[in-house]
């Protein structure tokens, strides 16, 4: 969402050109007579082994005011089995237009020495789920034991920031990355999740910043871990232009904060007057409580105006145009909110954040490309608001935008001049007690004891409510019925739905009311007969649970998504003349304390009141993340819920 803004800000920062003959970009080459690579036997069980992964970004002067950027990738892969063939029989190019491709070559080297080169007619266009078009080409004739080699170079939109993920599921024997630029432009490279030395040299009027390393292990996905964010990656940025004032760092966080502040608060006097009229018309100035003002403004804007991130022109983001057309892009929606909040005297800060499952905003390395999403921070309340998400309401943001660093743009005034300074610090999520996925279930046997009537309330509050509200609000009647049917099937093990209702569905309820799915269903799948006994699969009434077995050593820390509780209350009416013989099977107590403080646990217990069996379960994860050293304890909690899932109550006739 924020990329359009950053592109504009980058363009505003001129990179001074020193007159010189533009050099040709580096040309990639491959061996004239290729041979099959011999791979160590320790890799025999791998589907494929990447022999070489070579990448290069090159910047060249086009004219006094323009710099072009070219991207090159060159890979050699050894295929071991059918899975390897499946993974590499199609190569995806990060380019959409044929005109952008400078050069492309690909070939398959068979074990018998035959070489099959790419037929460029095999390059096709495909659409992804967002309707973006990409190039793909097929590699014909792959077989076990062959090598695949390809490289391509294409011209891309110039950006002085970048990121390259240099690890994947297959092992990589040799990796290298280069940034080549006119010698006056000094780029920096920083590795994440690993260490590698970076060199900087000047050769033939070009500055080459590069790193290389060997033997990168394949990375396996793990449950409750941020796979992508934990992969080896490097990030790069332009830090100095030695043709200007030596030592002046470019593209700092402070520069970004100042530019954003100017962009998002740049309403004209006429626009300010228009917003003042809007405030008065809606009566927001008569509201005394600041939180109530924030909520009222947000609900009005999100119900009245549509957000479209493709609206990028200046004309589309003028306040008067927005009010007239009832839609806006990122810049316009930020101006709309900020102008109203300024009129109301609501103190706020612009904050930029990213998604912590992919990367982070690093205080010491200013990669502007990691700033994906703009949000508002209200210091007096210590709460946040997501202006570009119509499905979210104060104080809830996408939980992946929190528990990670954000760039806070703190306003400051010098005389009559206002600007912002940058502060990189964590965006806290809401307390774990405010996010819950609870259940209130009543189970009653039918008269013939062969089925159950299950009256169930699924109660979602805080972060867990986001996905369910989205599903219920953005679906039509038929889709909504299917969603309810699916949830009922998962928790009641029945498609025989007798009744359903959704409470507190509107987005406006998100701030203080849980979304509740209330259903009644009839099922026979939770009951079995064993002679004169009834077997009640009570554990299945809490829905399917994740089971974690760790055959290989855990590699990464734990991320639960957000701190939360899962409280369940199950009431079972025991049929007349029956008793439960194994009530103690309901008791599970698995908790973990960190320095004496409970941080996670699963505790289940029961109380018998006549023929009413009341089961209470509290599963809780009070932290968003847990260190690797606590993984074994985390797994015990997860598996405790899975153990309860297997509990079967034995009902016997009273003697």
Interval 318-351: pLDDT, tens: 998 999 999 999 999 999 999 999 999 999 999 9
For residue 11, being part of any structural domain is answered with: no
pLDDT reported for residue 9 = 52
CB atoms within 10 A of CB 642: 16
For residue 8, being part of any structural domain is answered with: no
d(CA 461, CA 514): 4
d(CA 235, CA 179): 11
pLDDT reported for residue 18 = 43
For residue 246, being part of any structural domain is answered with: no
pLDDT score of 469 more than 90: yes
Residues 6+ apart with CB under 8 A from 417: none
d(CA 558, CA 375): 26
The domain boundary, picked from 215, 241, 267, lies at 241
> Is there a cis peptide before residue 395, judged by omega within 30 degrees of 0?
yes
Q: Is 521 found in the same domain as 414?
A: no
The domain boundary, picked from 427, 460, 494, lies at 427
**Given the DSSP bridges, would you call strands 436-445 and 564-573 parallel, antiparallel or unpaired?**
parallel
Q: Is 423 found in the same domain as 441?
A: no
Number of residues in the chain:
655
Q: Is 298 found in the same domain as 217?
A: no
Least confident of 130-144, 365-379, 615-629: 130-144
Q: Is 261 found in the same domain as 187?
A: no
Interval 223-242: pLDDT, tens: 999 999 999 999 999 999 98
Domains contained in the chain, number: 3
Partners of residue 651 on adjacent β-strands: 534, 580
Share of residues in the chain with pLDDT > 90 (%): 82
For residue 84, being part of any structural domain is answered with: yes
For residue 247, being part of any structural domain is answered with: no
pLDDT bracket for residue 180 (50, 70, 90): very high
Phi then psi for residue 338, to 5 deg, are -65, -40
pLDDT score of 599 more than 60: yes
pLDDT score of 17 more than 70: no
Q: Is 625 found in the same domain as 564?
A: yes
The domain boundary, picked from 359, 393, 427, lies at 427
Least confident of 122-126, 437-441, 516-520, 582-586: 122-126
Least confident of 20-24, 497-501, 558-562: 20-24
For residue 42, being part of any structural domain is answered with: yes
For residue 7, being part of any structural domain is answered with: no
Least confident of 6-15, 94-103, 127-136: 6-15
Q: Is 457 found in the same domain as 319?
A: no
Sign of the CA dihedral with 388 first, then 391, 397, and 399 last = negative
* Helix, strand or coil, per DSSP, at residue 325: helix
Q: Where is mean pLDDT largest: 86-100, 206-220, 414-428, 542-556? A: 206-220
Q: Is 465 found in the same domain as 330?
A: no
Tell me which residue range forms the domain holding 420: 253-427
Least confident of 18-22, 177-181, 192-196, 577-581: 18-22
pLDDT mean across residues, the chain: 92
Of 524, 532, 451, the C-alpha closest to 493 is: 524
pLDDT score of 393 more than 50: yes
Q: What is the mean pLDDT of residues 97-121?
A: 87
Query: Are 472 and 483 a contacting pair, CB within 8 Å?
Result: yes
Q: What is the mean pLDDT of residues 49-57?
A: 98
Interval 351-361: pLDDT, tens: 999 999 999 99
* Helix, strand or coil, per DSSP, at residue 412: strand
pLDDT reported for residue 432 = 98
pLDDT score of 76 more than 50: yes
Interval 250-287: pLDDT, tens: 999 999 999 999 999 988 999 999 999 999 999 999 99
Of 639, 551, 648, the C-alpha closest to 590 is: 639
Q: Is 531 found in the same domain as 417?
A: no
pLDDT score of 216 more than 70: yes
């Amino acid at each position: 969402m924020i990329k359009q803004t950053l592109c504009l800000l980058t363009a505003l920062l001129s990179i001074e050109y020193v007159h010189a003959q533009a050099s040709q970009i580096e040309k990639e080459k491959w061996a004239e007579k290729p041979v099959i690579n011999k791979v160590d036997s320790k890799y025999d069980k791998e589907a494929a082994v990447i022999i070489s992964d070579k990448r290069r970004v090159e910047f060249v002067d086009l004219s006094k005011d323009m710099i072009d950027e070219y991207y090159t990738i060159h890979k050699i892969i050894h295929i071991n089995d059918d899975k390897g063939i499946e993974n590499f029989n199609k190569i995806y190019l990060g380019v959409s237009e044929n005109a952008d491709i400078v050069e492309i070559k690909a070939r398959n080297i068979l074990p018998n020495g035959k070489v099959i080169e790419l037929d460029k007619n095999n390059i096709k266009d495909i659409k992804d789920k967002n309707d973006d078009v990409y190039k793909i080409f097929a590699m014909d004739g792959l077989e076990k034991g062959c090598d695949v080699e390809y490289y391509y170079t294409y011209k891309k939109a110039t950006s002085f920031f970048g990121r390259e993920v240099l690890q994947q599921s297959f092992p990589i024997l040799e990796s290298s990355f280069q940034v080549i630029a006119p010698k006056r432009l000094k780029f920096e490279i920083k590795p994440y999740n690993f260490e590698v030395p970076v060199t900087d040299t000047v050769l033939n009027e070009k500055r080459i910043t590069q790193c290389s390393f060997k033997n990168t292990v394949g990375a396996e996905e793990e449950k409750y871990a941020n796979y992508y964010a934990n992969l080896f990656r490097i990030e790069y940025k332009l830090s100095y232009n030695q043709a200007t004032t030596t030592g002046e760092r470019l593209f700092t966080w402070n520069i970004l904060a100042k530019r954003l502040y100017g962009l998002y608060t740049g309403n004209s006097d006429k626009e300010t007057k228009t917003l003042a009229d809007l405030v008065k018309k809606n009566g927001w100035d008569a509201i005394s409580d600041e939180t109530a003002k924030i909520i009222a403004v947000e609900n009005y804007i999100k119900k009245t105006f549509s957000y479209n991130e493709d609206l990028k022109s200046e004309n589309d983001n003028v306040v008067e145009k927005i009010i007239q057309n009832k839609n806006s892009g990122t810049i316009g929606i930020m101006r709309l909110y900020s102008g109203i909040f300024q009129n109301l005297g609501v103190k706020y800060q612009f904050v930029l954040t990213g998604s912590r499952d992919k990367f982070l905003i690093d205080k010491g390395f200013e990669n502007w490309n990691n700033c994906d999403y703009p949000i508002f921070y209200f210091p007096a309340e210590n709460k946040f608001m997501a202006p570009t998400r119509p499905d979210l309401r104060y104080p809830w943001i996408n939980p992946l935008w929190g528990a990670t660093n954000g760039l806070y743009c703190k306003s400051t005034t010098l005389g009559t001049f206002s600007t912002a300074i940058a502060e990189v610090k964590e965006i806290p999520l809401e307390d774990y007690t405010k996010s819950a996925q609870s259940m209130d279930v009543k189970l009653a046997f039918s008269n013939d004891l062969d089925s159950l009537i299950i009256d169930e309330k699924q109660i979602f509050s805080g972060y867990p409510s986001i996905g369910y509200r989205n599903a219920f609000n953005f679906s039509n009647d038929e889709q909504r019925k299917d969603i309810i049917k699916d949830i009922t099937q998962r928790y009641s093990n029945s498609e025989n739905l007798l009744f359903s209702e959704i409470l507190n569905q509107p987005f406006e309820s998100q701030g203080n009311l849980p979304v509740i799915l209330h259903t009644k269903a009839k099922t026979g799948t939770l009951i079995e007969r064993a002679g004169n006994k009834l077997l009640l699969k009570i554990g299945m009434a809490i829905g399917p649970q994740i089971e974690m077995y760790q055959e290989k050593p855990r590699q990464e820390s734990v991320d639960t998504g957000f701190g939360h509780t899962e409280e369940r209350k199950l009431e079972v009416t025991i049929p007349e003349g029956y008793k439960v013989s194994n009530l103690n099977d309901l008791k599970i107590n698995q908790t973990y304390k960190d320095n004496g403080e409970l941080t996670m646990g699963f505790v289940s217990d029961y109380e018998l009141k006549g023929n009413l069996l009341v089961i209470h379960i509290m599963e809780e994860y009070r932290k968003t993340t847990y260190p690797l050293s606590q993984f074994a304890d985390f797994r015990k909690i997860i598996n405790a819920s899975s153990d309860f899932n297997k509990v079967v109550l034995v009902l016997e006739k009273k003697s």
